[in-house]
Every structure is written in C-alpha cells, then in structure tokens.
Amino acid sequence: MYSVIKGDILLEAFVKKRLGSKDIHHFLSELISKDLNIIVVIDELNKKVEEAFENFKVKPFFVELKTFERASMGIGAHAHLITVPSEWEELLLPSHAIYDKNRKVFLCDCGGEAHRNGATYKVGEINEHLMLEHGIPPNMQIIDGWTDDFEKQCRNYLAKKYLKTRK
C-alpha cells in the first residue's frame, strides 16, 4: 500500500492532506497491526486475487462489483451487479418494521419516514399491518427486534382474531 501511495503523486497528496502531520508509513503500520476488517472491492474475484491475500493475518471480505453498459448507449445506460460475502446477506436485507424498546411498540419501516412515525403497533398488529397494507406474508416479514416471545404473542393474537372457536 505504501509503494502504491508513494508512486502516485495525486494519491500521496490526498493521503497527506487526510493524515495531517502523521507519517504515511507509520500510519499504515499502525493500521494493519490493529484488529480490522479488510474489504476488497473488485470487478472479478479469481484465484490470483485470493492468493494475493493468503498471508494476511485477517481474512478479507471480497465484494465483486461489475458495471454493465448498454451497447451504443455508453455509461449513460448502465447497471451494477454486486456480489457480497454470504455473512453480509442477512444484514443487507431491508427490515419491514422496527421494535422501539423505549416505547415498547413496533414502527412500520415500509413507507418512508412519515409512515414510520405515523403509527405504532402492538405485536400482532404489526404482523397484520405488514400483511394487509404492504402485502408481505408473515413468513417473509423482517422485523428488527423480533423475538421468539413476540412470535408466540403474534400467533395468539392472529388465532383469536381470525380463527373461530368451536363450542
């Protein structure tokens, strides 16, 4: 990294501006000696790239980022394909609702900020709201803060509301 920075006068100026009075080599040495995560963004992951990082103390995360341009349109019409590490996939899924621990209520996260702040829901109500208002079936709902206890309460709520009891 040091030789790459020193080999590019613009990059070196940028790094020096960000570091201030710190020495680049000293900063990089301190940086790689700490607990850190390394993310390598690359257009195509291959064996050669993986081998380049074999001797690192920390296993890097590889993110593949490919850009496709529409023929004859140039970069003006393009699309990106991103492949992230499997460990990140659950973290990247958008949540449909959030449990507010302080207020002990659920907030819908499907309709933007105004919608989120517009109403609060109890355990069964949030499940029902996501299903009826947003068309998200219960088995597909992602609710931050959802627990096994909430799941039981929700099932009881829905059973009482929608299942007829026999006498």
CB 134 within 8 A of CB 116: no
Instruction: Kindly report the pTM of this predicted structure.
Output: 0.45
Could you identify the residue written with the tokens 């341009």? 69
Position 91 scores a pLDDT of 62
Element (H, E) at 56: none
In the predicted model, is pLDDT for residue 89 greater than 90?
A: no
Q: Are strands 143-144 and 39-42 parallel, antiparallel or unpaired?
A: unpaired
Closest by alpha carbon to 134, among 95, 92, 166?
95
Position 153 scores a pLDDT of 92
| Exposure on the CB side of residue 53, measured as CA atoms within 13 A | 14
Q: How confident is the model at residue 10 (pLDDT cuts 50, 70, 90)?
A: very high
